[in-house]
Amino acid sequence: MTRQLLLLSTTLLLWAGTALAQKPEVSYPGHQVWYQVVSAFPETKGMVMSDCSAASASFPVGIESPQESLASQQWLLLYADDAQKLVYLVNRNTGHALQPVSAAEELYRVTQLLSSASEGKGFVLTGLGRGQYAFVGTESDGQSRGLAATQQGQATGNVTPEQDTPYAWTFKKIQVTNGVEGAPADEKPLIYLRNRRIEVSGGVPYTIMRADGIQVPCGSQLPAGVYLVTVAGRTTKVMIGKQ
| pLDDT tens digits, one per residue of 125-141 | 989 999 999 999 888 88
| Strand 225-231 with 87-91, pairing | unpaired
The pLDDT, as a whole number, for residue 10 is 43
**pLDDT class for 197, splitting at 50, 70, 90?**
confident
Question: Confidence class of residue 68 from pLDDT cuts 50, 70 and 90?
Answer: very high
Give the contacts of 141 (CB within 8 A, at least 6 positions apart).
none
Cα–Cα distance for residue pair 240/78, rounded to 1 Å: 15
**What tens digit of pLDDT does each residue of 184-193 get?**
555 677 787 7
What's the chain's average pLDDT?
A: 81
Q: Residues 200, 189: contact at Cβ < 8 Å?
A: yes
pLDDT tens-digit series, residues 9-58: 544 454 545 555 457 999 877 788 999 999 999 989 999 999 998 887 78
Q: What pTM did the predictor assign?
A: 0.79
Domain 3-177's class? mainly beta
Of 111, 36, 46, residue with least CA distance to 74: 36
Beta bridge partners of 39: 169
Q: Which residues contact 57 (CB under 8 A, 6 or more apart)?
A: none
Contacts of 214 (CB under 8 A, 6+ apart): none
Looking at the chain, which residues constitute the CATH 2.80.10.50 domain(s)? Answer: 3-177
